[in-house]
Structure 1
Amino acid sequence: MQQLLNIAHYEVVHIFKDRILFLVVFVVPFIYASLLGMIYASSILQQVPLAIVDLDHSAESRAVVSAFENSNDFRVIPSVDTYAELEQGMKNGTVRAGVVIPEDYSQSLSQHRLTQILTVYDGSNLIYGYNTRRYFQLVLNTFSAEHTAAYLGGLGMSKQEIKSVMDSVSVTMQVWYNPNYSYSTFIFPGLIIIILHQIGLLGIGLTITREKERNTWLQYLCAAVPQWKIFMGKALPYFIVNFFNYGLLLWLAARFINVKLEGSLALILLLGLLFNIIITSLGFVISLYAPNSLQVSRYLMLLSVPLFFIAGYTWPGTHMPVLLYGLGKLMPFTWMAEGLRLVTLKDLGANYLAITIIIMSCMAAFTSFLAVTFTKRRNPAAEGGLVVNSGSTYPKKNFLN
């Protein structure tokens, strides 16, 4: 028993001595829980962006519009007057759901004929899809009941007449982009990107730190080799492997997991190319300034969880705190995951991805610039700085006695 306590005491001492390990054990769980709590603070997805195309422009159709405007579950987007504008909004993400009121709506109601109201919603994000469907049913069922009650108020009608009025409004729902509610289509591409993100950063992030630990980095600094050649030589193998894995994992996802992957192959490859440049360059920069391999592994491990959630891939960024939403926009994973979803799931062209491509290109240029302009001057190791596993402190001789 004493030996067990001695070992435990020795480990506790090292936990408190190693600042990073102390943070991992005691602080990070609290930070993660607080971060996820802030992301999902709203708990209920409301104010879904809704476009209403009123083709009838009658008092009866305006009553339908008012029913949605008075619902806290929807936020009606103005200036959407045609089906083409609704479709455009659904493609670029400014609209997540739509209602189309037919031209003969009021006439059909007055004649007690069946009239259909078309509702559509974006199924590419299942969080929006599930909630929007429920909100549609709630608003339209309430509206239908109120309409019937108002019409029948004070009238003596037969059961058949009442049924005719009750069935006068029909709703057709369409799910766009992911009609089968495939969870693998919703989540799996994002998981592929985060895997490539973390593995890519870790692989290239250990290159320079490995040389530092072996005292061989000095030969690169002293050699008459320009910085860009050092970067290219170190990064090229990881870039090729990561790009190959990108194509392979997407193929496996489509072939064996039945993930919906459509759209332009050229755009898919372009996004992968830009993302790979960013990750390879960023990993090289991290490796340049990280003290050792252990710290690289720790930092990347700590970043993997919040990175995936603040990107807005699972929970809409518009429903997060503004600070987290803005922070997510600074991450290459955010743009890559959303861009891949726009291409493979919505089958959109380059004109819809212009902003994504421009921002990712700027990120690639910036990180590449940092990677090829590092100084070849060697800084002396800081005394008392971060070291692997808190240095070479060993237990006393009677440690296991």
Structure 2
Amino acid sequence: MNWFRLIADELSLTLRDSSTRLLLLGSVALYAFFYPYPYSPEVQTHVPVAVVDLDHSSLSRQLIRMAGAGDRVRVARRTATLAEAKALCSAGEVQGILLVPEGFQGKVLKGEKAEVGVWSEALSFFTYRQVATGLLTASKTLSAGIEIKRLRAAGLGGEAAFAAMDPLPLQIVQLFNPAGGYGTYVVPLVFALILQQTLLMGVGMVAGARSEAGDSAWFSAGPGLFGAVSMVSAKLAAYLLLYSIHALAYFGVLHRFYDFVERGAVFEMALMMALFLAAVILFALTLSVLFPHRETSLFVLIGTSMPAIFLSGISWPVEALPAWLRAASLVIPSTAGIDGFLRVSTMGAGLGDVAGDVTILLGLTLVYFITATWVFYKKGRE
């Protein structure tokens, strides 16, 4: 059978089935718009906090004004006691508390150490970071201003006072995520994982449906090993064509729509994505013989999404994983694929900089092509 006809038949078979069409086209399209949208603000701003001012002094009021002047937190409620503020936090009306103790201004004027209390909801690390950073920044800014006034009163000039207060100023530059946003960090990673998981389940559904129908011709284009090679390569080309369109939509169109960071060269990004998709497709074809029914791949593979997220370094740094687990995770294409592609696209790395990931993906592509050909050959003989 003509090789290009095999490609056309595979695409026709995939898109003709409503369930497979929904998974390979519908779910990818839905994820494209509904997953990134909640993260479009990038960072959480104006987190509501309660203030307990037990000092009622001009300095405590200045601290409260400074706390609410930034975009991290906003003073939503003022309470007379800490117990009232904690009750508001428990009820979900506020997500943090600033306590200014009695005698705060008096201690500052005497040159004694004065403290303020900060409580933050820790259910969300991002909320905790915004509350803690916002309130502590206000406290440190007020403290620095008071110290500079003392130094100037002691006879130091303005610049000398600033230098004495901060002798080694630190300038932090966030190279690859200027806004420090969660969306810029996580959405491109999850996009790549969506491509992998939908491919694995989609190919498994097609294989399961063909097995149910007793269609052994899906596994071989002819007798012998050559027939299996022809079929595997045709299916690889078919799904690579389909998912190249998805990848272009994800990393070409939506990246620009949501204004995510993109520093990589187009050719190098395309090559990394092609290697990643090829490894995933061949991995899916290798696994496809394990699914005797249409729904089997969904039940088996849907639970692998969370481990894949964990092993890819999205939720936990891979450097902190045990060595054996890091080594085992390399059999999953997303481990090297996500790392390499994101380094190229987000950090502007060249192919030489991600040579390790490229080598792993090339190795996986070769190994899974061999395994897919072997299982298709065995299945075709049956």
| TM-score bin, normalised by smaller chain | 0.5 to 0.7
Query: 1:172 and 1:292, CA in 2 relative to 1: closer, same or farther beyond 3 A?
Result: same
Aligned equivalent of 2:198: 199
Aligned AA for 2:313? G
Q: Is the 8 A contact 1:328 1:334 kept in 2?
A: yes
- Work out whether residues 239 and 276 of structure 1, in 8 Å CA contact, stay in contact via their aligned partners in 2: yes
- 1:266-291 deviation digits (Å, cap 9, x = unpaired): 11111111111111111111112333
Partner of 2:51: none
- Give the fraction of aligned pairs with identical amino acids, expressed as a percent: 18
Say whether 1:347 aligns with 2:362: no
Asked whether 1:320 is paired with 2:321, we answer yes
Deviation at 1:323, TM superposition (A): 4.2
- TM-score, length basis structure 1: 0.52
* Structure 1 unaligned residues grouped into runs of 5+: 1-125, 149-155, 382-401
Is residue 2:339 matched to residue 1:338?
yes
Contact map agreement 2:203 2:284 (CA 8 A) in 1? yes
- Asked if the contact 2:244/2:274 (under 8 Å) is kept, the reply is yes
Is residue 219–residue 228 contact of structure 2 (8 Å, CA) maintained in 1? no
Tell me which residue corresponds to 2:29: none
Deviations 1:185-205 (CA, angstroms, capped at 9, x unpaired): 211111110110011112222
Superposed CA offset, 1:314-347 (max 9, x none):
3211223444433333321011111122112211
In structure 2, relative to structure 1, the CA distance for the partners of 1:201 and 1:172 (3 Å cut) is same
Q: Is the 8 A contact 2:195 2:243 kept in 1?
A: yes
Task: Point out the more displaced range, 279-288 or 307-316.
Answer: 307-316
How far, CA to CA, are the matches of 2:258 and 2:302 in structure 1?
27
SS at match of 2:171: strand
CA distance in 2, matches of 1:221, 1:170: 68
| TM-score, length basis structure 2 | 0.55
Q: Secondary structure at the match of 1:287?
A: helix
| 1:171 aligned partner | 170
Question: Equivalent residue for 1:293?
Answer: 294
What is the correspondence of 1:229-248 to structure 2 with a 5 Å cutoff? 229-248=230-249
Going from structure 1 to structure 2, the CA distance change for 1:362 and 1:166 (only over 3 Å counts) comes to: same
Which moves more between the two structures, 168-177 or 239-248? 168-177
Alignment of 1:202-221 (within 5 A): 202-217=201-216
Tell me by how many angstroms 1:232 deviates.
2.7
Amino acid at match of 2:355: A
Q: CA deviation at 1:362?
A: 0.6
Which amino acid letter does the alignment assign opposite residue 341 of structure 1?
A: L
Matches within 5 A, 1:1-400: 159-161=154-156, 163=161, 165-217=164-216, 223-224=222-223, 226-374=227-375, 376-377=377-378
Does the CA-based 8 Å contact 2:219-2:379 persist in structure 1? Answer: no
Please tell me whether the aligned partners of residues 210 and 218 of structure 2 are also in contact (alpha carbons under 8 angstroms): no
Q: Distance in 2 between matches of 1:286 and 1:259?
A: 34
Kindly tell me the number of residue pairs found equivalent between the two proteins: 239
The one-letter code of the counterpart of 1:211 is R
Q: For the structure 1 residues 261 and 216, does the alpha-carbon distance in structure 2 shift closer, same or farther, using more than 3 Å as the test?
A: same
How far apart, CA to CA, are the structure 1 residues paired with 2:247 and 2:209? Answer: 25
Separation (CA, whole Å) in 2 of partners of 1:221 and 1:241: 21
The CA deviation string for residues 55-105 of structure 1, in whole angstroms up to 9 with x for no partner, is: xxxxxxxxxxxxxxxxxxxxxxxxxxxxxxxxxxxxxxxxxxxxxxxxxxx
Kindly tell me: are residues 246 and 159 of structure 1, through their superposed partners in 2, closer, same or farther at Cα, counting changes over 3 Å?
Answer: same
Give the aligned residue type for 2:363.
C
- The residue identity in structure 2 corresponding to 1:160 is G
Q: After TM superposition, give the deviation of residue 249 of structure 1 in Å.
A: 1.2
- What SS is found at the alignment partner of 2:340? helix
Shift in Å, 1:160: 3.3
Cα pair distance change 1:287/1:168, threshold 3 Å: closer
Q: Give the residue type in structure 2 aligned to 1:371.
A: A
Whether the aligned pair in 2 keeps the contact of 1:311 and 1:334 (CA below 8 Å) is: yes
Name the CA distance, whole Å, in 2 between partners of 1:324 and 1:377.
Answer: 31
Tell me how far 1:370 sits from its aligned partner: 1.0
Contact in 1 for aligned 2:336/2:361 (Cα 8 Å)? yes
Determine if contact 2:191/2:250 at 8 Å carries over to the other structure: yes
Q: 1:243 to 1:219 in 2, by over 3 A?
A: closer
Q: What is the CA-CA distance between 1:173 and the residue it aligns to?
A: 2.2
The amino acid across from 1:181 in the alignment is G
Structure 2 residues not aligned, in runs of 5+: 1-124
